[in-house]
Chain A
Amino acid sequence: MKIALCIKQVPDSWAEKKMGADQRLDRASVDAVLNDLDEYAIESALTLVEANSPTGEAGEGSGHTITVISMGPERATEALRKALSMGADDAILVNDDALAGSDALATSKVLAAVIAEGGYDLVLCGTESTDARMSVIPAMLAERLGFAQLTFAGKVSVEGSNVKISRQTEFGVEEMSASLPVVVSVVEKINEPRYPSFKGIMASKKKPLVTKSLSDLGISASDVGSSAAWSSVKDSLPRPPRGAGIKVVDDGNAGTQLVAFLSERKLA
């Protein structure tokens, strides 16, 4: 397997977020971290390789490679380094000033170009970036690349060139399978991501991390970024904070007070 692992650096979900004057998330004002849902994808990539490696380990000698890919600003290298320290083999950052403000369509176009160029046959993603929260990138990648789509996996295994997943949907628990090349996105129930070991952290410093620009990928700057976005924000307003609610300490009849409150609002 030649695995492409897509990860994103996002604003810390605990930080208070606000819109900048350009109607985009003011990213400079908040701490950035690796999208926590992508850690599960990293762990999945490592366990899949370990399960299919003669040595039982990822890395050289496993017969498989894991390349972490991220599109984002320079500081997204921190997220890539973290994935390398967990055990991925090499990393690609796509960084270009023209990418600022890219929507999901442009992001998927760029990621698809990197994946096509590298000849990967298994693409692993998280299910959602905690900032964009669109959950559409994996499906868009499958559409662009013509790869089979196995998304929202709660379990994943690879045997030869056959990929199997099981997932929970509104229809029940579905078993799905497809032959490589495949795009898989994983949900957070799938595993417990490992912590980078000291050895892993030291080794990651020597692992290759290349930065690509749009021209390296043959993508025109006019096809990406905020000016090429196919949707635009007209305005954004902070929502008035919820009016301070009623808070009662139960002295034996708070439940009854709640019933009165609910019937006043015609909810009970």
Chain B
Amino acid sequence: MSNVLILVDSVSGKVSKSTAEIATFAKRIGDVTAVICSSDSAVLIPQLSVLSIDKTITCTGVEFEKLSTGAVAAALAAVVAKESPSAVLIASSARGKEIAGRLSVRIESGIITDAIDLDADLVATQSVFGGSTTVHSVVTHGTPIVTIRGNSIEAISGTGPSTHEEVAVSYDGDRAAVSSVAPAVKSGRPELTEASIIVSGGKGTDGNFTPVEELADALGGAVGASRAATDAGWYPHSFQVGQTGKTVSPQLYIAAGISGAIQHRAGMQTSKTIVAVNKDPEAPIFDVADFGIVGDLFTVLPQVRDGVNAKKA
């Protein structure tokens, strides 16, 4: 039985949803070993007990939070040397891709980023050119390293790891140091890249995100924003969707008062269902919308919010 390594991703002591998703892909290929490179391992391990993971390896001896992603790549390389896995799967976040890139240089192995599917034979599916083309690729050299986009699969649950190991690692690489972290403000809504529903607002909100937030809350979704909205300071940059913001792929994406510039579409075009609300019938966002409403977001969104809340009651 082959063995697959996955890197556990977490924020503030909480295992990310992407970890459950990559574990699900890994299980298709073989036994799953979850690698933890975090000083929070004691609180992370119990959270893995419901996932399809067979074993955990905690890397010790390095304060990962204070260093660059090079330290995580070095630790993973040590685990790869020890375990000889048939693949390494990592979440496709900015951080995940850096780790994957550095690991591939370190262990001289091919890399595929932003996969949206991965089969048992390690054939990866990617969606490129803003979603207009689907590509199937394989790694042909070394231990395949694949980064996988969030929301690409419905995570299955499992019985959790039965074996726990610790591996002492060291890092003599780059000396970039994190001197301080001002924690992100928590909104109480789902994380943008993990959310299955996102309601985004653009320039058309004119700075008033209330209808966008209220609809997101009615649907249990996250709030996103176009660059025009984040540039104007109406919403923090960390909520920007698009080429230079987050790439999202939720079940439902609602764009309100967003024209649909190519840079915005690059970050949301693979969403399963797309809804657009825009006053301008010619707005390019309608080209990718499954359901488009030519109308004023300030009247349409509250009506949708009330309809959704009424159904729940």
Using a CB–CB cutoff of 8 Å, the interface residues on chain A facing chain B are 13-14, 16-19, 23, 25, 37, 103-105, 108, 127-128, 130, 133-140, 142-144, 146-152, 154, 168-179, 182, 187-189, 229-239, 242-243, 245-250, 253-256, 258-259, 261-263, 265, 267-268
Contacts and interface: CB of A to CB of B under 8 A. Distances in A.
Given A136-B101, A177-B177, A179-B175, A238 B307 contact: no
A125 to B, nearest CB: 12
Ranked nearest first, the 7 interchain pairs of A and B with the lowest CB-CB distance are A250-B295, A255-B303, A230-B110, A136-B101, A259-B307, A230-B141, A139-B98
Contact of A259 (B99, B104, B113, B308): B308
A147 B232 CA distance: 36
Nearest to B129: A17
A263 B312 CA distance: 11
Nearest to A256: B307
Contacts of A139: 69-70, 97-99, 101-102
Contacts of A151: 68, 94, 98
B266 to A, nearest CB: 8
A232 B106 CA distance: 20
Interface stretch (B26-34, B80-88, B151-159, B178-186): B178-186
Query: In terms of DSSP, what is the predominant structure of the interface of chain B?
Result: mixed
B174 A149 contact: yes
A143 B176 contact: no
Contacts of B94: 135, 151-152, 169
Contacts of A265: 252, 273
A23 B135 CA distance: 9
Nearest to A243: B290
Contact of B101 (A143, A232, A238): A143
Interface string B141-171: 1100000000000000000000000000000
A179 B174 CA distance: 10
A250 B294 contact: yes
